[in-house]
Amino acid sequence: MAIKETGDIAAGRLPADQLACQFSDVAPLLDAQAAAVAASRCHYCYDAPCIQACPTQIDIPSFIRKIGNGNLKGAATDILSANPLGGMCARVCPTEILCEGACVRNHQDGDPVAIGALQRHATDWAMASGVSLFHRAAETGRRVAVVGGGPAGLACAHRLALAGHSVTLFDAHEKAGGLNEYGIAAYKTVDDFAQREVAWLLSIGGIEWRAGQVLGRELHLAELRQQYDAVFIAIGLAGVRALQIEGESFAGVYDAVDFIARLRQSNDLSTLAVGRRVVVIGGGNTAVDAAVQSRKLGAQSVTMVYRRGLDTMSATWAEREFAQTQGVALIVNARPVRVLGNGAGVTAVEFELTGGDAGTLARTGTGERFIVAADMVLKAIGQTLIASELSADVLTLDGTRISVDQERRTSLPDVWAGGDCAATGLDLTVQAVQDGKLAAASIDRMFARTAARAA
């Protein structure tokens, strides 16, 4: 996406040294002493509610105990055995509503164990040390196509390769990682960590990477099913919803996901154009990331507007609070009705109050309208499945996701699916990893059954 510079949308709003500071690590790594202190706060609960809250079921008390004992290799093995993208999940997981939200210390002193920071401490050590934690099994002769190189596809490929199967990992992008590489705020994953984690994951062997491969263009499901013993689809949600309002085509209106991707791939933040007055429409993590990064690039005002109440925002309370500490204004229960502009581009967005309480949305607007001045508008109202290669019987009834069972099998006997493109629950990196794991285990069991019958 190219952002056109105008009088109000411009690059270089902040000097390079200030930009470097703005986009430094939002949660710096714990040192050894701080990690030991943090680990000492864990009660090592026998029923460990934190484990139950983690979609990948990491044995959290076990890895924390190992950190406390100075056994970082053991801690990293615990984590990465359950979640091969444990390093990125330590950075981007909403721990406040998952493991840390379930920590029993919340009921004692209101201060949960810093599980995410401790997980990062162990996994970063593993990445930096280059220690070998896993060894691939003997080659089985089975071939699997994984379509989509995001968290679900990477996790599935890693598990299958560990089992000795050969995996071809296809993706539309130049780099693997999916949203970890293209869709997460730069201040959450500094120093090219997403690619370092991918390199570590692929180092297990048995995984061939093929970039620039789009399902429905270079790839066709029928051909993949003929050429491979199994197929795992993890294509994410590549379509972007439109506002479908007057003025949406004005210069200065952009998709937030494209804005974030452009920022993540930039080698020079001073070249990135941003408006003086930015309006972000949406209430999820993408909206927060776009809003905060607009401020960090030098926007004078950033307003995030969400059509429902706070309780229904998919961005967590921690993300909302962080955005507000960065100077982002938040308006809820308001929907856009038109974008105002002229030949030079956007000048404002008109909204209508939706009424309802904190967690609901009225079916019709209240009629009360207001205008927010803007020269740049970022749309973050959700993404959609591009299902050109998928027949209706593979999709959910509303056609918005791929329908799968608990093993992530589709209605096709040799095709599995997971991640955001599948109807599996939470749209989180950690859930996508679990989808990939479950699909890999199911594929491996299918291979074992086939081999047993052949014998």
> Residue 5 above 80 pLDDT?
no
- The reported pLDDT for the residue numbered 363 is 52
Residues of the chain with CATH 1.10.1060.10: 32-129
Identify the bridge partners of residue 246 per DSSP, sorted by sequence position: 338
Closest CA to 401 of 376, 377, 378, 418: 418
CA distance to 14, 263, 298, per residue, from 270 (Å): 7, 10, 10
Query: Lowest-confidence range among 28-37, 62-71, 83-92, 388-397?
Result: 388-397
pLDDT, one tens digit per residue, over 178-210 is 999 999 999 999 999 999 999 999 999 999 999
- pLDDT > 90 in the chain, percent: 87
At 361, the amino acid letter reads L
The whole-angstrom separation of Cα 94 and Cα 114 is: 12
pLDDT, one tens digit per residue, over 408-432 is 999 999 999 999 999 888 889 999 9
- Provide the greatest CA pair distance for the chain: 73
CA distance to 41, 160, 244, 329, 356, per residue, from 366 (Å): 50, 54, 19, 22, 9
In whole angstroms, what separates CA 435 from the centre of its chain?
14
Which three-class secondary structure state does DSSP give residue 434?
A: helix
Strands 239-240 vs 383-384: parallel, antiparallel or unpaired: antiparallel
> Residue 358 above 50 pLDDT?
no
Question: The domain 32-129: what is its CATH number?
Answer: 1.10.1060.10
Helix, strand, coil content of the chain in percent (nearest 5): 40, 20, 45
Residue 107, number of CB atoms within 10 A of its CB: 8
- The reported pLDDT for the residue numbered 390 is 87
The whole-angstrom separation of Cα 357 and Cα 309 is: 7
At 112, the amino acid letter reads P
Whole-prediction pTM value?
A: 0.94
Closest CA to 156 of 455, 401, 436: 436
- The reported pLDDT for the residue numbered 359 is 47
Residues of the chain with CATH 3.50.50.60: 143-238+385-454, 240-382
The whole-angstrom separation of Cα 382 and Cα 393 is: 24
Fold of 143-238+385-454: FAD/NAD(P)-binding domain (3.50.50)
Average pLDDT over residues 13-37: 93
Average pLDDT over residues 249-271: 95
Length of the chain equals 455
What is the second-level CATH architecture of the domain 240-382? 3-Layer(bba) Sandwich (3.50)
